[in-house]
Amino acid sequence: MSFFEMGGYAAYVWPAFGAAAVIMVALLVLSIRTMRAREAALRTLEATARQQRAADGDGDSDGEQNAPA
C-alpha cells in the first residue's frame, strides 16, 4: 500500500490529482456547452441568411450570384 501513501506525500498528491480531475471535467463541460451555443447561433444565422436570399428573389441555393451571359 506504499503506492497510495506516496512516500508520505499522499496528503499533497491526491488532492492535486483530484483538483486536476475536477478542472478537466469542468473544462470539458464548458467546452461542450459553448460548442452547442455556437452551433445554435450558427443555425440561426444560416436560417436568417436563407430567408433573406429567398426574400431577395435569389433562388440560388449555394449563395453564388450568376454572372450575366
54 DSSP assignment: H
Q: What is the C-alpha to C-alpha distance for residues 49 and 47, in angstroms, rounded to an integer? A: 5
- Residue 7's contacts (CB-CB under 8 Å, 6 or more residues apart) are none
> What is the pTM (predicted TM-score) of this model?
0.66
14: cell is 491526491
Band of residue 3 on the pLDDT scale cut at 50, 70, 90: confident
Q: For the segment 7-63, what is each residue's pLDDT rounded down to a tens digit?
A: 889 999 999 999 999 999 999 999 999 999 999 999 999 999 999 999 988 655 565
Helix (H, G, I), strand (E, B) or coil at 61: coil
